[in-house]
Amino acid sequence: MIPYQNLYIYEISGVISNSRNFFKEHFIGCWNEGETSFLFFSQVHDEEVESFIGRKGLSLSSKNVLDYKTWQAGEELKPFKVGNLVICPPWENGRIEEGEVLVHLDPCVVFGTGYHPTTRNCLNALWQIYQKEALKKVLDLGTGSGILALAAAKWGAEEVIAIDCNELAVETALRNVLSNGESRHVEVKMGRAEDFVEEEADLLCANIHLRVIESL
Contact by Cβ (8 Å): 107, 177 = no
Q: Taking phi first (over 0 means left), then psi (-120 to 50 degrees means alpha), and beta for anything else, what does residue 9 get?
A: beta
First and final C-alpha spacing in the chain: 40
Report CA dihedral (23, 112, 166, 101) to the nearest 10 degrees. 80
Q: How many Å apart are CA 193 and CA 141, to the nearest integer? A: 5
pLDDT number for residue 213: 87
**DSSP letter at 7?**
E
Q: How many Å apart are CA 212 and CA 216, to the nearest integer? A: 6
pLDDT number for residue 84: 97
Other Cβ atoms closer than 10 A to 129:
16
Other Cβ atoms closer than 10 A to 126:
24
pLDDT number for residue 5: 87
pLDDT tens, residue by residue, 7-40 = 999 999 999 989 999 999 999 999 998 899 999 9
Q: How many Å apart are CA 189 and CA 143, to the nearest integer? A: 10
Contact by Cβ (8 Å): 168, 30 = yes
| Ordered DSSP codes for 93-153 | -----TT-EEEE---TTSS--S-SHHHHHHHHHHHHHHHH----EEEEES-TTSHHHHHHH
- Show the domains of the chain with their CATH numbers: 6-71 (3.30.70), 80-215 (3.40.50.150)
Contact by Cβ (8 Å): 212, 193 = yes
Nearest to 83 by CA among 135, 118, 130: 130
Q: Which residues of the chain have pLDDT under 50?
A: none
Q: What is the pTM of this model?
A: 0.93
